[in-house]
Every structure is written in C-alpha cells, then in structure tokens.
C-alpha cells in the first residue's frame, strides 16, 4: 500500500500553466480517465451522502484509462489542504465484469468523474493539468511516499507548495475538497 500525498488547485489560465510546466518538467503522457465510484447500496441514500465515509473514503473507484482498468481503495484524509491517501490499487481485465461483481456484493454506482489532460514529472512530483467535466481546470501535484509519517508529510508539503509556485498558481487557489464532494455540490445546484 502506497501513501499518496496530493495537492490540487483551480486553474484560471490552463495554457499559461501548461507553458510554465513545460519550462521545467518532463512530459509523461496524455490521459483520459473515466472513474466510477461505488458504495454499499445503503450508503447511497440522500441522508447518507452527507455522512463521513468510513474506511473506503469515497468508495471503490473503478478507473478506465487509455484501455486499462484499475480498481482503487483509498483511506482518505485532508491535512493542511493536502489529500493524504493510503491507497490500494490493482488492475482488472474488464470494468463491466468487475462492476457486475460489485453489484453482486451489494454495491451500486454512486458518482462518476471524467477528466482528461496531460501529465509531467519533476523531481519526485507528478504534475497533472486536468479538465474535470462539470467542474473546470485543475493542477494536481502528487508525491507517492512509503509512509505517512509527519516528517515525510511535511517534506512533501514543502515540495508541493514549491512546485505550485513554479506553476504560477497562488495558494489561494488550493482546493481541499475531494472531487466527489465538488461533483455532488454541482449536481445539487
């Protein structure tokens, strides 16, 4: 299980941010990610949506990306505007077969997220510039760590904030809410 330390921020000018990224980071790939989040059927009722999620955070995520399928379980936490997720991830050969398996276990689709963009690498940081459908543009900065010890989290925080500064994005644009929260809010308006 890896610890994912992530900071995301709203982007007002994606072309300028991309230009800034390309000045110092190495291009990795283009991506198109389609995520489906699954919860136990009893947790999907409207009154349950506002309750804090347990061990599964925002549920079981089934991600389809560039022809591959990944299943992810995250134990989520937000500290100082950063997501700190203990993450267990594995691949499956078929999204539809795995989703049928989840349905059989008593899970149901809760929310879907689609994002596309580009990824770069700088030092130990993965940088993504993403267009999230129904939300807008975001910069996501991520470090994969061996542990979530306070010293390692603090070192990652400094590195992520330095990278954000290099992108030309002010700290006031940091978004500490999960995408699932933002999407739920948007669906209610």
Look at residue 44 in the predicted model and tell me its pLDDT: 67
Q: Which fold has domain 2-188?
A: Hypothetical Protein Pfu-838710-001 (2.40.320)
Rounded to whole angstroms, the Cα distance separating 52 from 58 reads 9
Rounded to whole angstroms, the Cα distance separating 13 from 184 reads 25
- Is the distance from CB of 135 to CB of 71 less than 8 angstroms? no
* Domain residue extents for the chain: 2-188
Look at residue 45 in the predicted model and tell me its pLDDT: 53
Q: What angle do CA 181, 143, 118 make, to 5 degrees?
A: 70
Interstrand relation of 2-10 and 82-92 (parallel, antiparallel or unpaired): antiparallel
Look at residue 151 in the predicted model and tell me its pLDDT: 86
160-170 mean pLDDT: 97
Rounded to whole angstroms, the Cα distance separating 68 from 61 reads 14
Of the chain, the percentage scoring pLDDT greater than 90 comes to: 62
- Is the distance from CB of 9 to CB of 175 less than 8 angstroms? yes
Look at residue 52 in the predicted model and tell me its pLDDT: 45
**What DSSP character marks residue 139?**
E
Q: Where does the pLDDT of residue 36 fall: very low under 50, low under 70, confident under 90, or very high at 90 and above?
A: very high
Q: Where does the pLDDT of residue 3 fall: very low under 50, low under 70, confident under 90, or very high at 90 and above?
A: confident
- Is the distance from CB of 109 to CB of 13 less than 8 angstroms? no
Rounded to whole angstroms, the Cα distance separating 182 from 99 reads 24
pLDDT digits (tens, 9 = 90+) for 100-156: 999 999 999 989 999 999 999 999 999 999 999 999 999 999 998 877 788 888 888
Look at residue 74 in the predicted model and tell me its pLDDT: 76
pLDDT digits (tens, 9 = 90+) for 146-159: 777 888 888 888 99
Look at residue 53 in the predicted model and tell me its pLDDT: 43
- Give the chain's mean pLDDT: 88
Structure-derived torsion over alpha carbons of residues 169, 113, 176, 149, reported in degrees to the nearest 10: -100
Range scoring the smallest mean pLDDT among 84-88, 100-104, 158-162, 169-173 = 84-88
Q: How far apart are the first and last CA of the chain?
A: 37
In this prediction the pTM is 0.84
């Amino acid at each position: 299980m890896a610890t994912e330390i992530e900071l995301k921020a709203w982007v007002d000018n994606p072309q300028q941010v991309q230009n800034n990224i390309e000045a110092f980071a190495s291009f990795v790939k283009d991506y198109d990610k389609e995520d489906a989040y699954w919860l136990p059927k009893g947790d999907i009722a409207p009154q349950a949506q506002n309750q804090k999620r347990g061990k599964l955070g925002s549920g079981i995520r089934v991600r389809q990306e560039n022809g591959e399928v990944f299943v992810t379980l995250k134990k989520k936490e937000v500290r100082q505007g950063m997501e700190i997720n203990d993450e267990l991830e594995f691949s499956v050969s078929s999204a539809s077969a795995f989703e049928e398996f989840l349905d059989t276990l008593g899970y149901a689709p809760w929310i879907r997220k689609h994002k596309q963009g580009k990824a770069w690498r700088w030092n130990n940081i993965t940088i993504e510039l993403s267009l999230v459908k129904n939300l807008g543009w975001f910069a996501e900065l991520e470090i994969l760590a061996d542990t979530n010890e306070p010293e390692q989290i603090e070192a990652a925080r400094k590195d992520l904030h330095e990278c954000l500064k290099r992108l030309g994005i002010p700290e006031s644009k940091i978004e500490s809410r999960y995408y699932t929260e933002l999407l739920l809010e948007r669906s209610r308006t």
